[in-house]
Structure 1
Amino acid sequence: MSAPIIAIDAMGGDFGPHSIVPACIACLAEFPSLHLVLVGQISLLNELIARHSGVDRARLHLEQASEVIAMDDRPAQALRSKPDSSMRVALELVRDGRAQACVSSGNTGALMALSRYLLKTLPGIDRPAMMTAIPTERGHCQLLDLGANVDCSAEHLYQFAVMGSVAAEALGVARPRIALLNVGTEDVKGNQQVKLAASLLQPVSELNYIGFIEGDGLYRGEADVVVCDGFVGNILLKSSEGLASMISARMEALFKQNLGSRLIGSLALAVLKRLQGELAPARHNGASFLGLQAIVVKSHGAARPEGFQSAIRRAVMEVREDLPQRLHGRLEHLLL
């Protein structure tokens, strides 16, 4: 396929271009065929790019945008009152065919609202869902929804399961195991929406639905795709990030308590660093907006360069797999 072209909202997130520019330059070195379009205040972007040597400017393009959507702006405000925001201009590049994907660490609600307005959803999809990878004992599972849809019907959960399954296949998982996150694994457990979603999934032989899963089963790697509403998914994601950081901090503190523990810590340092790397939120940063007619990846707002780089990697993979087209091809006969 042709070289991927990805539009970057360079002004979004807590650190804006100071974090995003280094991540973009690192990705250009990592992917020799990648082209990036950084959208934002060109004078500032040029100043930050100039601090790095050896940048391939033939593959790094700049697009002016005079406005920035703040992290606390309401989605309606972003839609109506900031027509020249870096987020909107980046999405318009995708809409107009000048880029194949958009990556932003900006306001999640605004990004979802603008994405739905500018890019539209795939036929049969009521609501896009946010999906990301969660580390497990066996590798990773894909979790959705992460917060885009706080209140969901059974039909929405069914759609999320279909989209998650197709996306997992694109990531190389053969016949992904799909589970609904629940308060128990028995058929009688759960609220009405989860029970109804299970009844919709069970008869579909093309989907490898394995039933309900609890939170501990998710981390044991008992499923490849775990489906829930956005309220539960967002709490689970943030709790996972906080737990990983707390364990890392506690282990480091324990190893520094006294001479004996420092000696033990020095022996275990390599293993500890590897564990920190595997669990670090930055390594798994990047949530896909599934169900749109084009690719949008949301980076964590507090992502440092390494984290934003992971989000760009996810966008590159989805462009290479032509994920929206794969979804469209499977949705026609799998949706209710």
Structure 2
Amino acid sequence: GMMNSFESVPLVRDVLDEASEVLGENIGRLISDGPVEKLNLTTYTQPVLLACSLAIWRLYRKNQPTGLPSFLAGHSLGEYSALTAAGCIGFSSAVSLVKFRAEAMQDAVPENVGGMAAIIGVTEECVEDICKSVRENSKNKLCEKNANTKTVEVANINTGKQTVISGSNSLLDSVAEKIIQLGKTARVVKLPVSAPFHSSLLAPAKIMLEHKLNEIELCDPAIPVFSNVTAKPYKGINEIRELLPLQAISPVLWKSTVETMIRSGVETFVECGPGRVLSGLIKQIDRSVKIYNFKDYDSFNKAMESLNV
């Protein structure tokens, strides 16, 4: 819905058309007319989100010609958008790569055996400890033959008070029970995802992504891009080939990434994408920084005015 107000902008249309050619599917129409069920399939959601983010990034660059940003970062799928924005991956390669990533992640586990949940109001250390005890408890109960089929792990460390866990449904439930016993401030929100992303259950996807990335031409980033896996800027192409597949089975270190940027002197964040989730997380990490995001074309133009002052 958010992209509808950008649809009339020629530059945005061009980017969406380019992605449509790669996917063999009219993305502009899919965004404006649906069907929503199709748009919600991860094999469409991921390339569509990347295309929308890149469209807004290009519009931002066109309207903000003075100086490149100091750093780029993206959350999970968004890291692919950031690498594309930095010129590491060509746009059409990126669209087909994230479609491949979506398929690989979807195929890594049978449907509905695993999922994800956000834990709110509890420290990351506490969530980590509970996951660990639930994992160990489940190992003790299982006979050796099944011991490696169930897990629950920290998948995203988003803020000091929001950690996402990922894993087998039965263990997610066990963690949720323990979290709720901690008291009133603790909340558990099941996420509407079809697989346990960023957990070891996605190991097959990691291997597929390694092979796929070896076929794709990469360039050194024109702007430093932070890796979700290390919360540090990538050192070069080899590290991208190594860490991007690893991201599928590793926690997204978003809190550390934002804190490191702020320590390096960043005072302003601009969220280029169809949504304002990251802006909300950044605000929780540090209330003092300036954050811009674009809920529609009007707010984009307003933000550009104040950014160009």
Q: Normalising by structure 1, what TM-score?
A: 0.27
Q: Normalising by structure 2, what TM-score?
A: 0.28
Return the index of the structure with the highest Cα Rg. 1
